[in-house]
C-alpha cells in the first residue's frame, strides 16, 4: 500500500468509527453514504481497505435492516471476499444475515465458501437449520464434514439440540454415531431419551456410541434403561464397554455405598438369567450390598453360579475386596478361579482408596509372593509403578537381577522416574537404579527414557 493510500485508510477509519458511534448513540440506522462506503470497502482489492469494511460489518450500529444490506453483498463478491464477509456477519451475530447465507449455500459455492457459510449458519441459525447441517455432515468432503460438525456444536438458538436428537433415528449408521458424539459434546441432556433408544437398537456400532454418550451424560434415573442396553449388547468388547458406561454413571453418586442401589432395585424385577448377566456390571460398581449378592453366587455349589460370581468379583473397583480375594486364593476349589482371584488382587493392590503407599506396596508384595506362574509375577512387578514412592523403587531394584522379572522391573523403574518430584527428591537412588536399567534392559525405548531422566529431561509418550 502506498503512503498516500495508508493515510487515506487511516482517515477513513476515523470517519467510519465516528459515523458508526454517532449512529449507535442515536440508535438510528447509519446514513446511506456510510453504508455505501462500507460496501465499497468490502469489494476493494486492497486487503487493508477490506479489513476496514469488515470491521464495520462486525461493529456498526445494530439492526436487521443494516445486517441485511451487508449480507446482500455476498453474491456480488469473489470467493475470498465472500469468506471474509461470512465470518464478519457471523461475528455480528444477527440472524437477519441467515437468508443471504442460505441462498449462497443453495447456489453450490466453492468448498471453502460453503464451509464458512455452514459454520456461520450454525452460529446464526436454530433448530430449522439442523436439517441442512446434518445433510452436510453426511457429505464426503472432509472440509464440509468438519464445518458441519462445528456448526452443529455451535447452533444454540431455539430447539437446536432437540432437533438433532429428533433426526437420529432416520439417519444411517455413520451419521447416527457422529450426531450422538455431537450431542455428548453439547451436554444435551434433554436428548437422553433419544440416545437411550439408540443404545437399545439393532446396530452394535450405534449402541456402543450411544452408551458412551450416556456414560458421560446420564444420571442414576437412567440406569434401568442402561441395564437393558447391557443385556442387549453382544458378549465381549461391546458388553464390557457398556458395563463400564453404567459404572461411570453410578460413580457420580457421591456415597460409594449407595452406588449399586439403583442397579439392585432394577434387577429385582428381572429374570434369573438377566440378573446373572448383570452380575459383572454389579461387580464393577462395588459396595457392600453388591458384594452380598455376588458372594451368594460365589458360595453356591452350582458351578455356573460360582463362575458368574467369580467374574463379577474380578471386576471390583477398589482394594476393599482384598480380604475376600485372599480367601478365594487360599480356599477356592477351582484352580482357574484361584488364578483369577490372584490376578484381581494384583490389579487392586496399588489402587489408592485412601491407603498409604506402604500399605499398597505390602499388599502387592504379598500377591507377588503368592504367585507361582510367571504371568502373575511379571504382572505384579509391572503394577508396582502405580505406587509412586521411593520404597517401591527399593523393592524393584533387586528384581533387576532376576532374569524373568528384569524387563518388567526396568519398565516400572522408568515409570517411577517419570515423576519428576519423586525423582529429584531421591536423585542418588534413582540415578543408580537408572544406570542399572540401562545396563540391563534390551528395550531401546526404556534405555532412551532412562538416559533422559538422568539428564533431567522430559519424555513424551508417542
- For residue range 19-61, what is the model confidence (pLDDT) as tens digits? 544 444 444 555 677 788 888 888 888 888 889 889 989 987 7
Residue 28: what pLDDT? 52
% pLDDT > 90, the chain: 84
Mean residue pLDDT of the chain comes to: 92
pLDDT of residue 14 exceeding 90: no
Look at 23-32, 146-155, 305-314, 410-419 and tell me which has the smallest mean pLDDT: 23-32
- For the range 18-22, what are the long-range contacts, defined as Cβ-Cβ under 8 Å and sequence gap of 24 or more? 20/56, 20/59, 20/60, 20/61
Residue 30: what pLDDT? 57
Residue 29: what pLDDT? 57
Summarize pLDDT for 214-244 with one digit per residue, the tens: 999 999 999 999 999 999 999 999 999 999 9
Is 384:395 a contact under the CB 8 Å cutoff? Answer: yes
Question: 127 burial class (0-12, 13-18, 19+ CB within 10 angstroms)?
Answer: middle
Residue 4: what pLDDT? 42
Q: Of residues 44 and 275, which shows the higher confidence score?
A: 275
Q: Is 460 left (phi over 0), alpha (psi -120 to 50) or beta?
A: beta
pLDDT of residue 410 exceeding 90: yes
Average pLDDT over every residue of 345-372:
97
Q: What is the full DSSP assignment across 335-349? A: HHHHHHHHHHHHHHT
What is the pLDDT confidence band of residue 101, given thresholds at 50, 70 and 90?
Answer: very high
Average pLDDT over every residue of 172-182:
98
Dist. CA 151–CA 116, nearest whole Å: 10
pLDDT of residue 416 exceeding 60: yes
How many other CB atoms are there within 10 angstroms of residue 104's CB atom?
Answer: 22
| Cα separation values, 415 from 353, 426, 435, 437, Å | 21, 15, 15, 12
Residue 342: what pLDDT? 98
Average pLDDT over every residue of 127-140:
95
Residue 34: what pLDDT? 78
Q: What is the largest CA-CA distance in the chain?
A: 97
pLDDT of residue 336 exceeding 70: yes
Domain assignments of the chain as residue spans, ordered by start: 388-462
How many other CB atoms are there within 10 angstroms of residue 374's CB atom?
Answer: 10
Residue 32: what pLDDT? 76
Dist. CA 31–CA 262, nearest whole Å: 65
Residue 304: what pLDDT? 95
- For the range 141-145, what are the long-range contacts, defined as Cβ-Cβ under 8 Å and sequence gap of 24 or more? 141/111, 143/111, 143/112, 143/115, 144/111, 144/114, 144/115, 144/118
Look at 31-45, 102-116, 134-148 and tell me which has the smallest mean pLDDT: 31-45
Amino acid at each position: 500500500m502506498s503512503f498516500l493510500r495508508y493515510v487515506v485508510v487511516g482517515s477513513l477509519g476515523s470517519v467510519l468509527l465516528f459515523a458508526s458511534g454517532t449512529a449507535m448513540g442515536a440508535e438510528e440506522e447509519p446514513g446511506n453514504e456510510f453504508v455505501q462506503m462500507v460496501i465499497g470497502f468490502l469489494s476493494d482489492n486492497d486487503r487493508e481497505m477490506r479489513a476496514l469494511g469488515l470491521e464495520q460489518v462486525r461493529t456498526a450500529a445494530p439492526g436487521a435492516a443494516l445486517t441485511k444490506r451487508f449480507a446482500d453483498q455476498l453474491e456480488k463478491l469473489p470467493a475470498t471476499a465472500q469468506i471474509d464477509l461470512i465470518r464478519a456477519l457471523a461475528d455480528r451475530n444477527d440472524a437477519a444475515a441467515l437468508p443471504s447465507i442460505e441462498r449462497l449455500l443453495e447456489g453450490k459455492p466453492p468448498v471453502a465458501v460453503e464451509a464458512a457459510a455452514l459454520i456461520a449458519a450454525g452460529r446464526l441459525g436454530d433448530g430449522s437449520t439442523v436439517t441442512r447441517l446434518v445433510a452436510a455432515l453426511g457429505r464426503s468432503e472432509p472440509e464440509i464434514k468438519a464445518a458441519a460438525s462445528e456448526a452443529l456444536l455451535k447452533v444454540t438458538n431455539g430447539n437446536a439440540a432437540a432437533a438433532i436428537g429428533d433426526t437420529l433415528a432416520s439417519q444411517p449408521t455413520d451419521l447416527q454415531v457422529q450426531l450422538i458424539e455431537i450431542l455428548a459434546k453439547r451436554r444435551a441432556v434433554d436428548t437422553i431419551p433419544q440416545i437411550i433408544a439408540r443404545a437399545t437398537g439393532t446396530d452394535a456400532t450405534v449402541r456402543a456410541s450411544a452408551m458412551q454418550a450416556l456414560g458421560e451424560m446420564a444420571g442414576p434415573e437412567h440406569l434401568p434403561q442402561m441395564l437393558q442396553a447391557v443385556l442387549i449388547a453382544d458378549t465381549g468388547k461391546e458388553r464390557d464397554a457398556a458395563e463400564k458406561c453404567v459404572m461411570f454413571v453410578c460413580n457420580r453418586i457421591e456415597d460409594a455405598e449407595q452406588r449399586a442401589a439403583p442397579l439392585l432395585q432394577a434387577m429385582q424385577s428381572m429374570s434369573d438369567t438377566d440378573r446373572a448377566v448383570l452380575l459383572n456390571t454389579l461387580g464393577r460398581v462395588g459396595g457392600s450390598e453388591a458384594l452380598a449378592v455376588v458372594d451368594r453366587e460365589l458360595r453356591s455349589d452350582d458351578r455356573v453360579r460360582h463362575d458368574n460370581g467369580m467374574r463379577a468379583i474380578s471386576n471390583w473397583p477398589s482394594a476393599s475386596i482384598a480380604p475376600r480375594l485372599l480367601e478365594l486364593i487360599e480356599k477356592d476349589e477351582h484352580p482357574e478361579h484361584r488364578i483369577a482371584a490372584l490376578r484381581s488382587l494384583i490389579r487392586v493392590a496399588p489402587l489408592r482408596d485412601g491407603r498409604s503407599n506402604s500399605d499398597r506396596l505390602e499388599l502387592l508384595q504379598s500377591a507377588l509372593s503368592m504367585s507361582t506362574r510367571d504371568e502373575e509375577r511379571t504382572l505384579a512387578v509391572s503394577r508396582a509403578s502405580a505406587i509412586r514412592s521411593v520404597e517401591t523403587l527399593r523393592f524393584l531394584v533387586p528384581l533387576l537381577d532376576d532374569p524373568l522379572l528384569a524387563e518388567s522391573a526396568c519398565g516400572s523403574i522408568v515409570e517411577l522416574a517419570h515423576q519428576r518430584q519423586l525423582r529429584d527428591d531421591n536423585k542418588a537412588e534413582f540415578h543408580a537404579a537408572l544406570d542399572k536399567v540401562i545396563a540391563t534392559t534390551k528395550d531401546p525405548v526404556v534405555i532412551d527414557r532412562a538416559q533422559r531422566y538422568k539428564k533431567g529431561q522430559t519424555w513424551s509418550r508417542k
